[in-house]
Amino acid sequence: MRNIFKILLILVCFSSCTKHKGDSDRFKYDMEVIAIFSSYGVSEHTHDGLIYSGLIKATDSLGIVFRPIIPFTYEDGTNTIDRLIKSDQSGKKRLIISADPEYSDYLSKLASEGGVIDSDSTKLLVFDGDLSHPDLYAVHVPLYAVMYEAGYLAGRMDSVSNARIYIANDNYRYMREGKDGFIDGFALGGKDNIDVVDFSETNDDDTEGFYKASLAYLYAEECYNDSCDMVLPVCGETIMGFLRYNREFPGSFYTVGVGADMSVYSPDVPFSCVEHLDRVVNECVVAWVENRLEHKMTFGMDGGWVELIVSGNYKNQLGQVPSEIHRQALEKEAGYER
């Protein structure tokens, strides 16, 4: 079933990225954006899904060919990246995007061994804030500030006395930032009863925690039995397991939305930490077209690239994040070094 989904998605991508009749003049056939996603596929409102939808819009508006690649295995993905960056095409500009952090270790090793070449025709853009190499272009979307504010609001809620954070892998910088930001904000809001579960410690595959929606449903039941008041799932598609439990057992516990506004999935989502990755990738593609792509690019709350959105039913109760807390969150994010 998963393979069929990939094939259908690729067909949809192909049809959406081909030129429209009568639009031949606006398409730049000497430019191409290629994105390699996780072998698990692309799901709506997840990290990969938001990048994918943003790339569709960006390349279509700019008239650039877009080729998404969803490999069948992790090895297929790394082999594809290796083949692409070593097959420089004369007369064509290509932006190759590693859209999923699961390729980061491989790319870091490849770059250190001289296997990545930054040329006028081929550039490699990586969505991972930890990577730093003169031949790589790294994008970082920090989550400390937005989750600091989320933790602060959670700490102010009378019905929340304890919380639990689920992360896919503590080795990923943006997950560490999000976890630490929420914990610090929760303490500022007057609460400190919080624990953390790292999925990578219980799985052989370090990226498996991103795609455990079915298992998360069981964890959700455990949260309910433990009288947990709020859950923060910084674990990609896995969040859907918690939201499903919320729908089936209303009032069981609150779930903090991550990535997109998750209030559409459950009335037990008081607020969401929203990442505007569609705008981020659009900015990156435009910068590439205009030859102003930077090797280290950060898109945080200060520029409106991430924001905390309070769900409609909770606005009277929670109001808005105080301006002094917002400023404090930005200052602490700027000095974050953990």
User: What's the pLDDT tens digit per position in 61-94?
Assistant: 999 999 999 999 989 999 999 899 887 666 789 9
- Mapped onto helix, strand or coil, the DSSP state of residue 157 is coil
Distance CA 166, CA 74 (A): 24
336 burial type by CB count under 10 A (0-12 exposed, 13-18 middle, 19+ buried): middle
Instruction: Round the average pLDDT of the chain to a whole number and report it.
Output: 84
DSSP strands (E only) in the chain? 28-36, 64-69, 93-98, 122-127, 137-140, 163-167, 194-198, 230-234, 254-255, 257-259, 271-275, 296-298, 306-310
Percent of the chain with pLDDT over 70: 85
Q: What is the CA radius of gyration of the chain?
A: 20
Each residue of 270-326: pLDDT tens digit?
999 999 999 999 999 999 999 999 999 999 998 999 999 999 989 988 988 888 899
């969401």: which residue's tokens?
Answer: 272
Each residue of 204-213: pLDDT tens digit?
555 555 666 6
* pTM given for the model: 0.86
* pLDDT of amino acid 108: 85
Averaged pLDDT for residues 42-49: 76
Domains of the chain: 2-140 (3.40.50.2300), 144-275+302-334 (3.40.50.2300)
* pLDDT of amino acid 321: 84
Residue type, 29: Y
